[in-house]
Amino acid sequence: MTICESFLRDHAGLIHDTDHLLSTRGWSSHWLTRHILGSHLDDMYHLVHHWCPQIPWRHLPQAAALAAKHLDRWDEVPRCSGFLFRRRATPDQPCVIDDISAR
């Protein structure tokens, strides 16, 4: 994974936003796509990682659950399903490429 790929999937189109809640996206994808792009698990915990980089990756799901429970604006976090193409399981969420081009 290069820095360019990481920026593209996690921050492109969002970096200009001064609201830290909206400056990075979470995304899920097929396991093969994650493997090719070098992502661990699904990257739906990326925002929590930015807020608290000292939390080990294996504890990010629990940290994200706490944030979802206690943060009123948690539903505003940009989320995508799929990188190049929208996943069939979540047709209401854009893929990363669609989200970037819409911004």
Predicted confidence at residue 42, as pLDDT, reads: 61
Q: How far apart are CA 59 and CA 41, in angstroms?
A: 12
Q: Which of 4, 5, 42, 44 has the alpha carbon at shortest distance from 24?
A: 44
Q: What is the DSSP letter of 11?
A: T
pTM higher than 0.85 for the full model? no
pLDDT digit string (tens) for the chain, length 103 residues: 555 656 666 777 777 778 877 888 888 877 787 777 666 556 678 888 888 889 998 898 999 999 999 989 988 888 888 888 888 888 888 988 888 888 8
Q: How far apart are CA 64 and CA 86, in angstroms?
A: 23
For residues 99 and 78, is the Cβ–Cβ distance under 8 A? yes
